Amino acid sequence: MASLTIRKLDDAIRDELRLRAARNGRSVEDEVRVILREAARPDALPKADFPHENSILAAKSGQRPKSDITQRVTLIIGGGIAAYKALDLIRRLKERNLHVRVVLTRAAQQFVTPLAASALSNERAYTDLFDPQSEFDAGHIRLARECDLIVVAPATADLMAKMANGHADDLATAILLASDKTILLAPAMNPLMWNNAATRRNVAQLQRDGVVMIGPNAGEMAERNEAGTGRMAEPTEIAEAAEAFLRPPQAQPLAGKRVLITAGPTHEPIDPVRYIANRSSGKQGFAIAAAARAAGAEVILVSGPVDLDEPHGVIVKHVESARDMLAAVEAALPVDIAIFAAAVADWRVVSEGAQKLKKTGAALPPLQLTENPDILATISKSKDNRPALVIGFAAETEHLIDNAKAKILRKGCDWIVANDVSPSTGIMGGDDNTVHLLTRRDSEIDVDSWPAMSKDGVATALVARIAEQFKKANP
Ligand code: CTP
């Protein structure tokens, strides 16, 4: 009955229905059932309980939910070599739709300019406690209060010492002393300074005062041949920590679940310098990994060669060839859910040249190909360790649904996310995706066509749908 209803609807309503179903992690049929139930018993409508209720609509427009936009961060940049990374941090905070106001200490201005900070934040950058223009109405008090969070990055040993002792002799320290907001410090200094007894005392005092810290991380220092703990946390880590303080805690419907995801292309070597590859960017698989992590899952991402930042909190295994990918996938088992988003090369060269193949002037070198292992089919059909839910992708350029239906049966997976990767769609390498979710129940295959959305939106909707599936299985 539901499919009859859907076919008769006009396109706009059908799209709206699909979007609503995707948003709530249900099939269109289930969504129709819920709507009918709602019509019959208006007080009994089950509410979507996935945390990103608004994010599919938002992702569709490339925006985060509107309600997030009002949150403000005062970013204090201290005077250390890591100050250059604070410029990237401004971008990362703004990417999260946070409003950023920047304050630079005098020393910070030796490393980055107020002009660069204001160009990136789209706001005037503040530098001076005794600036008549902003202090006529006690500007440092406004900067301390008119925000939801203060981030100090880099927090130098000197700035932390001043904070621990309540100094207020410049704009940054006056703001920090006058604030009743959460203060997030990203310390950065030489390892000897970090381990110095005076810094240890200051860190302990600041922690007692309720200041929160991220990092420092261990690694190479800016100084030649120096390594240890003292590197500032990466801008993405700091931005994520800031976001975690500003956003209410999210429901974690996949908490306790282990999720494996493959992403990106594979490279199949021809000789030491050449390989067979494809145009996959890995964006969709990476977005799914980030969404699954945000939903509380432990996530292992097996990725072919891509040019993407690793999603925070995700275990990433980098591989080159299809055979490497299969080995990494098998090593990651057992998992509860496996999602195969990688564009695995179907073929590899039978015998990889030990040396670079040379032009001989005569015939072209013959490339004899052999088929790669099918990772999705191998895992779907494995007797031991088959994940409870196995999801494949179908990249097609014609007969999308028919080919995807044949693929789900041939490969033995439970669901397939089908997309048209013809060059005209811009999906391969692009930021958006239009997908159809095929779900198999015995020999029956249901097809849900989702409207065009960003790859982040597809990831969020897919994870919501997975969470719903597990909730149904274990109510
Ligand atoms: N896949 C895989 N291992 C392979 C080939 C594909 O795990 N050697 C997975 C992909 O990650 C995807 C699904 O199988 O989840 C379908 O991939 P796709 O490239 O669409 O199909 P192919 O299996 O390559 O089939 P065809 O080339 O005939 O479309």
Task: Tell me the pLDDT tens digit for each residue of 319-347.
Answer: 999 999 999 999 999 999 999 999 999 99
Helix/strand/coil for 315: strand
Share of the chain above pLDDT 70, in %: 88
Residue 393 beta carbon below 6 angstroms from any ligand 1 atom: yes
Per-residue pLDDT, 282: 96
- In single-letter form, the type of residue at position 369 comes to L
- In single-letter form, the type of residue at position 207 comes to Q
pLDDT digits (tens, 9 = 90+) for 102-113: 999 999 999 999
Average pLDDT, integer, range 167-188: 94
What torsion, rounded to 10 degrees, do the Cα atoms 246, 179, 158, 213 define?
A: -30
Helix/strand/coil for 17: helix
Which of ligand 1's atoms lies nearest the C-alpha of 341? 11
Per-residue pLDDT, 8: 63
**Where in the sequence of the chain do the CATH 3.40.50.1950 domains occur?**
66-246
Question: Is residue 153 pLDDT above 90, yes or no?
Answer: yes
**Where in the sequence of the chain do the CATH 3.40.50.10300 domains occur?**
258-346+369-473
For residue 100, give every residue at least 6 positions away whose Cβ sits within 8 Å of its Cβ, in sequence order, or none.
Answer: 72, 73, 75, 90, 93, 94, 121, 123
Per-residue pLDDT, 133: 61
pTM: 0.62
| CA-closest residue to ligand 1 atom 6 | 344
The residue that leads in pLDDT, 464 or 423, is 464
Residue 375 beta carbon below 6 angstroms from any ligand 1 atom: yes
Pair 351, 269: CB distance under 8 Å:
no
pLDDT digits (tens, 9 = 90+) for 178-223: 999 999 999 999 999 999 999 999 999 999 999 999 999 988 776 6
Q: Which residue has the tokens 């019959």?
A: 40
Task: Give 444 Cα–ligand 1 centroid separation in angstroms.
Answer: 21
Residue 342 beta carbon below 6 angstroms from any ligand 1 atom: yes
CA angle 431, 436, 442 (to 5 degrees): 140
pLDDT digits (tens, 9 = 90+) for 422-457: 888 888 888 888 999 999 988 899 999 998 889 999
Residue 346 beta carbon below 6 angstroms from any ligand 1 atom: yes
The partner residues of 468 in beta bridges, in order of sequence, read none
Pair 280, 428: CB distance under 8 Å:
yes
Catalytically active residues are: 278
Q: Which CATH architecture has domain 66-246?
A: 3-Layer(aba) Sandwich (3.40)
Phi-psi region of 344 (alpha: psi -120 to 50; beta: other; left: phi over 0): beta
Per-residue pLDDT, 56: 35
Question: Is residue 130 pLDDT above 80, yes or no?
Answer: no
Q: How far is CA 341 from CA 207, 262, 271, 290, 326, in A?
A: 43, 5, 27, 14, 13
Question: Is residue 267 pLDDT above 60, yes or no?
Answer: yes
Which of ligand 1's atoms lies nearest the C-alpha of 394? 20
Task: Give 200 Cα–ligand 1 centroid separation in angstroms.
Answer: 54
**Alpha-carbon gap, residue 162 to 204, rounded angstroms:** 14
Task: Give 286 Cα–ligand 1 centroid separation in angstroms.
Answer: 18
For residue 161, give every residue at least 6 positions away whose Cβ sits within 8 Å of its Cβ, in sequence order, or none.
Answer: 198, 199, 202
User: What token pair was written down for 287?
Assistant: 């977005």
Task: Give 329 Cα–ligand 1 centroid separation in angstroms.
Answer: 15
What's the DSSP call for residue 42? G
Provide the residue count of the chain: 475
Q: Could you please report the per-residue DSSP string of 355-377?
A: SPPPP-SSSPPP--EEEPP-HHH
User: What token pair was written down for 200?
Assistant: 């240890």
Count other C-beta atoms under 10 Å from residue 330's C-beta: 13
pLDDT digits (tens, 9 = 90+) for 224-266: 677 789 999 999 999 999 998 897 777 799 999 999 999 999 9
Residue 394 beta carbon below 6 angstroms from any ligand 1 atom: yes
Task: Give 77 Cα–ligand 1 centroid separation in angstroms.
Answer: 48
- Binned at pLDDT 50, 70 and 90, residue 1 comes out as very low
The domain defined by 258-346+369-473 carries CATH number 3.30.470.10 = no
Residue 392 beta carbon below 6 angstroms from any ligand 1 atom: yes
For residue 144, give every residue at least 6 positions away whose Cβ sits within 8 Å of its Cβ, in sequence order, or none.
Answer: 74, 150, 174, 175, 176, 178, 179, 180, 181
Which of ligand 1's atoms lies nearest the C-alpha of 391? 15
